Amino acid sequence: MAMLTLAACTGGQSENPLMADSALPYGAPEFSKYEPTDYEEAFLEGFKRQRAEIDAIVACTDAPTFDNTIGALERSGRLLGKVSGVFFNLSETDADSIMKETEKRIMPLMTEHSAYMTMNETLFARVKAIYDNKANLNLTREQEMVLYKYYRMFVRGGALLDADKKAQFMEIEKQLSLASIEFGDNSLAETNAFELVITDEKELAGLPQSSIDAAREEAQAKGKEGWLFTLQKPSWIPFMQYADNRDLRKKMYLGYINRGDNNNDNDNKEVIARILKLRQQKAQLFGFNTFAEYQLEDKMAKTPQAAYDLLMTIWNAALPKAKAEAAELQKLMDAEGKGEKLEAWDWWYYTEKLREQKYALSESELKPYFSLDNVRKGSFMVAYKLFGVNFRPIEGVDIYHPEVKTFEVLDADSSHIALFYADYFPRATKRAGAWMSNFVEPFNVDGENKRPMIVNVCNFTRPSGDTPSLLNIDETRTLFHEFGHALHGMLTQTRYPSVAGTSVARDFVELPSQIMEHWAIEPEVMKLYAHHYQTGEAIPDELIAKMQAASSFNSGFETVELVAAALLDMEYHMLSDYTGFEANAFEKAVAEKIGLIPEITFRYRSTYFNHVFSGGYAVGYYSYLWAEVLDADGFEAFKEKGIFDEATGRSFRKNVLEMGGSEEPMTLYKRFRGAEPNPEALLRNRGLIE
């Protein structure tokens, strides 16, 4: 094996803080001690230790049992898990050039290390012997799921391939890991590269003062005159909603949708083609016609056609509504007498005008009630009322950036559940979007109950001057969404790490996150947390009534751009031949096939579709819609019994949040709900049917 070929780092093993036990509460990461040059040595030592643990399992002369093989695998790799948990989180939020270069060197070694396990014929023989005899082993349901997961990991890791195909598989995996890093780096570079500098104050017409102030601070921070607007959502969205200057809106819009498509050093079109071809080769090695078939075999959807059918059901309900919305916006433009045709860069702007016209409601009117601190407190309050958990600020734990907040999570009996890190503001080192991850995975084996350490990462509007961070409704829902993922990770009560927390099927993992979004905008909940940041006044009933009246406003647009992206993802990976593939031409063909109107583009165009090309959502973006069937139906259970009904909340905690992947997803859902979900709940939730 070529695994340990990197030059050794300077210093002895004891000098590397990543390899030492933490002195902080609960063994929390000691970020302030870690240097970018520490990771490489720690990874190499982690590889070495787990290889020794694997060798010991292989050398065992006892007959294979669940504990001496599967249990031993679960107990292995603790150092590697620790280092990975810190490194890969920071590589997306706070990495420097040293860490980025380290990542490029480490990823091929990660592939080789994984192969050291999954291609070990003796080890696989032990796993297979247990799997083939599982009916006679009196395993718990959780152990059965862990065993299945390992057996599938070995099979998907090449254990059944012949020698030539194993070599091909390893090379494909290495190339895919590097291409994924390249795509993400290009996307971040493109986002950071675009700047719109305005020096004429007249060109700020229409923008709210908060956006103007933030743009002034951004310009000053970068040593520029005037006002600086970027492609970060807190800057971009208000500009698209309120800027009167149509030419500048067009410039901002095109800057956003052309990321990775500028024929420069950060162009992603060739990277996409490379990734898709490699994925297809991988699928064919395992006997699948397409990568879509390969990916969905063990998901709730099972087949690409099942996922595609759900998407088209939603699409066929949403597209007519989006067309009607476009016609209504065009009428608004016609009334201005300028003779202009609605374009994509007009949609956000005229939607805000129409919202104010129809409902006397604007985002700027709502934002003062949704300060970041209040929204976060609201999410904590909901978790307490539903699941009996408390959040309190914790001192004495390290943070990796001054803006990160830390909390200890306590159960109703004050016992420790988890640590929670919150990282909410954009910066040049952080990729776009919002996500949840684990710094430390839970571990409950051999009497050791190591609780998880969870992080939520977002890119929300920054404070400006004396004004705190004020969130729009989409950002408010995003905070609750990622908090739902965090709860799924924090409340896990499984024994084995491989099925803990969010280690579930991709099309089930969005249930806890998406169901939490409902509480964000429930009138009863908003009255408890949505208080004006200056006066402390609770959000008025009049504003809530306007929000409810406008609840399905613009839902055609919102649904169409989301479903279009999910269909694009599916179409990419349902191909079996990529000869002559070109990303832009393919994207255009998909838009024409599904009838996407030109006033709306995909939520994520190909060249910055990070979910699919640098994240874990390849053939998985549909899962947001698949899980929405579950979350919309599940929330109706709360609406039937009361949104804070304790019994329903505790049932969701016990049967979904605590269970991780220890049972089949639909089994868990039916245990909570009492029946399979009704797909019409999604259409009702989006206002697409009565």
Tens-digit pLDDT profile for residues 645-675: 999 999 999 999 999 999 999 999 999 999 9
Tens-digit pLDDT profile for residues 568-618: 999 999 999 999 999 999 999 999 999 999 999 999 999 999 999 998 899
pLDDT, position 1: 31
CB 666 within 8 A of CB 547: no
- Looking at 388-494, list the stretches that DSSP marks H as alpha helix, in order from N- to C-terminal side: 473-490
Give the orientation angle of helix 473-490 with respect to helix 372-387, to 10 degrees.
40
In degrees and rounded to multiples of 5, residue 258 shows phi and psi of -100, 10
> How many Cβ atoms are within 10 Å of 405's Cβ, its own excluded?
16
The residues of the chain scoring below 70 in pLDDT are 1-14
pLDDT, position 363: 87
> HSE of 382 in the Cβ direction (CA atoms, 13 Å)?
30
Alpha-carbon span 564 to 558, nearest angstrom: 10
In sequence order, the 6+-apart residues with CB closer than 8 A to the CB of 151 are: 127, 128, 131
pLDDT, position 14: 58
**pTM for this prediction:** 0.94
Alpha carbon distances (Å) from 111 to 56, 104, 169, 207: 21, 12, 10, 49
pLDDT, position 188: 95
Helix, strand or coil, per DSSP, at residue 408 = strand
Residue where the block lists tokens 């408010």? 476
| Whether residue 482 lies in the annotated active site | yes
pLDDT, position 5: 36
Containing H/E element for 443?
strand 443-445
- Structural domains of the chain, ranges and CATH numbers in brackets: 18-118+120-156 (1.20.1050.40), 194-257 (no CATH), 368-549 (1.10.1370.40)
pLDDT, position 9: 39
Q: Active site residue: 103, 173, 482, 510, which one? A: 482
pLDDT, position 208: 93
Q: Which residues of 353-380 are buried (b: 16+ CB within 10 A; e: fewer)?
A: bbbeeebebbbbebbbbbbbebbbebbb
